Chains A and B, each alone.
Chain A
Amino acid sequence: MKLLVCISKAPDTTSKISFTDGDTKFDENGVQYIVNPYDEWYALVRALELTEANGGTVTTITVGTAADDPTIRKALAIGATDAVRVDAEAKDPYFVAKQIAEYAKANNFDIILTGKETINYNGAQIGSMLAEMLDQPFVSLAQKLEVSGNTATLERDVPGGAEVIEVNTPFVLSAAKGMAEQRIPNMRGIMAARTKALNVIPAVETAELTSIVSYSMPAAKAECKYIDADSMTELVELLHNEAKVI
């Protein structure tokens, strides 16, 4: 089985979110980057479990600059076979998907796995765009994945219940909670990661169709109004007359 896992970096979930350069840039000062949790905990770990059970390789791909290398090494330490970095800043989702699609076309993977979304941009765009560029089926928000020969069975929650889906390889999926459990890399993995291949390839020329021109923060919340635990009628009153939400 030949698997490709799309890996992105994301600011640690406790990072303070602020902006610089007249609110046009994310302020990276003091920010720790991690592997985007959906990519790492679910997509990567499930890919590793499948190849451990059935044989095969797990390649990771990242569109990014050298600043992304530490997160790529983390994915290698967890167990990926090798890694590819397309050497370009990941600005626009179409641009990113196009880079991965070009690489995938030349390398014929059975399954391409992405995380459900990144926790910084929450776009949930790459998997779906990639599937279209490769003319492959896409299973979004998958929570279970089993593979037998060239047929995969997946499960996901849908409004009002859950679906069991069958699809033939090759296909693209986005991984959500439930697919696997987080793995902590051990010392051997970390040592091995240093010598695994991280191939840097040039980007293909692609139009950028969107760009972020500025950022802003939500308005500060007004002070919390405290209500006595014995005055729930007062709370109901406030929710009805003041907040107007019931």
Chain B
Amino acid sequence: MSVLVFIETKGKISKAAREAVTYGSKIGPTTVITYGDADAASLGSIGDNGATKVLVCRNLSEGNDQQLTKLITAAANNCGADVIIVSQDQLGKAVAPRVAASMEAGHVSGAIALPDTANGFIVKTNVFSGKAFANVSVSSSKKVISLLPNSISPESTGGNAEVEEFNTDLGSAGITVKEMKTQGEGVLLPEAELVVSAGRGLKGPENWGMVEDLANTLGAATACSRPVADIGWRPHHEHVGQTGVAIRPNLYIAAGISGAIQHLAGVNGSKTIVVINTDSEAPFFKAADYGIVGDAFEVLPKLNEAMRTFKASQN
């Protein structure tokens, strides 16, 4: 099976992009399609994750789903791809189904494992907001897979990919970005490997300093429960759970969050969960790997202190 992987290569090539290329190369010979002005050396380095060739469209600087769909389908036809892989991030969510519709390809959303091709083409996906998995069989000859970040580790083969310019008629963008409001630096929640999160147990927005301090020490992103975002203590984009962002970090630290089923749905894909709660009966402890029954106002600063000592010893 021949594979095409779409990735973004603006700035540093992301871990999610390298995961997608690794995933593709385990299915078959892999070509990458990307756009923008990344230099050839950096594009060639994608070969390290198993791609043999990188196609780059230089005539597009801002990705939008309508033009990228034209680009990806043209590239798929060009390299005769049977399987197209896209990372399930914000842009990927808008692009992949569109590519699938355009090619009449079956689309698998939220894949977390390699396809099982022993008997057809079956991909394991996350469903019910992470409470269960579904095995999705794709019957069409062309297939599009959206891969959830943190589902496979990027592998290094030591290879280098051949870089080729690829251009096609992209039509118009359809939408115009009028304004871009940038936020402060900080770690982006959906891609974060470490997350410190807090809930109503923190009593008020003025107490988030200790959450941010711990996040800074760890290089973690911050998150919160839904009521905290609803009352306006924290911005909406920090709200995790079934009706917020679903995340799968390596470490999720939850302070003053009860662990309601809707909250757990968005975080139960985390590798390791630490729960800090005054109430030993809080449901979150059932989903926790490590639990601390105690007051977040005391535990968070202590944990931060211990982390700082640890970090200092690492350097």
Instruction: State the A residues within 8 Å of B (CB).
Output: 11, 13-14, 17, 19, 37-38, 92-94, 97, 119-133, 136-141, 143, 153, 157-167, 171, 177-178, 207-218, 221-222, 224-230, 232-233, 235-236, 238-240, 243, 245-246
Contact = CB atoms under 8 A, between A and B. Distances in A.
Nearest to B109: A123
B243 interface: yes
Contact of A140 (B94, B110, B188, B242): B94
Interface string B259-288: 001100100100110110000000001111
B152 interface: no
Best-surrounded residue of A178, A216, A229 (most CB of chain B within 10 A):
A229
A187 to B, nearest CB: 26
Contacts of B93: 124, 128, 140-141
B134 interface: yes
5 contacts: A153-B178, A163-B180, A209-B138, A212-B136, A214-B135
Q: 3 tightest CB-CB pairs across the interface, nearest first? A: A137-B174, A229-B294, A209-B106
Contacts of A218: 130-133, 268
A210 B274 CA distance: 38
A137 B272 CA distance: 40
B174 A164 contact: no
Contact of B129 (A119, A153, A236): A119
B272 A17 contact: no
A236 B214 CA distance: 12
Nearest to B94: A140
Contact of A123 (B110, B183, B302): B110
Contacts of B177: 163-165
B315 interface: no
A161 B194 contact: no
Given A140-B94, A164-B178, A209-B104, A216 B135 contact: yes
B291 interface: yes
Nearest to A229: B294
A170 B268 CA distance: 39
A161 B69 CA distance: 24
B188 A160 contact: yes
B65 A232 contact: no
Given A119-B129, A235-B303, A133 B101 contact: yes
A94 to B, nearest CB: 7
Given A13-B242, A138-B65, A138-B66, A211 B136 contact: yes
A232 B183 CA distance: 32
Contact of B174 (A119, A125, A136, A228): A136
B194 A245 contact: yes
B127 to A, nearest CB: 5
B181 A161 contact: yes
B100 interface: yes
Interface in B101-123: 101-102, 104-110, 122
Given A164-B177, A233-B306, A235-B290, A37 B243 contact: yes
A93 B107 contact: yes
A136 to B, nearest CB: 7
A215 B292 contact: no
Given A128-B96, A164-B181, A227 B175 contact: no
B182 interface: yes
A236 B190 CA distance: 24
Given A161-B180, A162-B181, A167-B174, A129 B100 contact: yes
| Most chain B CB inside 10 Å of its own CB: which residue of A19, A143, A160, A166 | A160
Contacts of B100: 94, 125, 129, 209
B300 to A, nearest CB: 9
Interface stretch (B20-28, B35-43, B47-55, B244-252): B244-252
A122 B245 CA distance: 11
A166 B137 contact: no
Contact of B303 (A130, A139, A165, A232): A232
B291 A227 contact: yes
A232 B305 contact: yes
B306 A161 contact: no
A226 B176 contact: no
B289 interface: yes
Contacts of A162: 180-181, 183
B132 A215 contact: yes
B4 interface: no
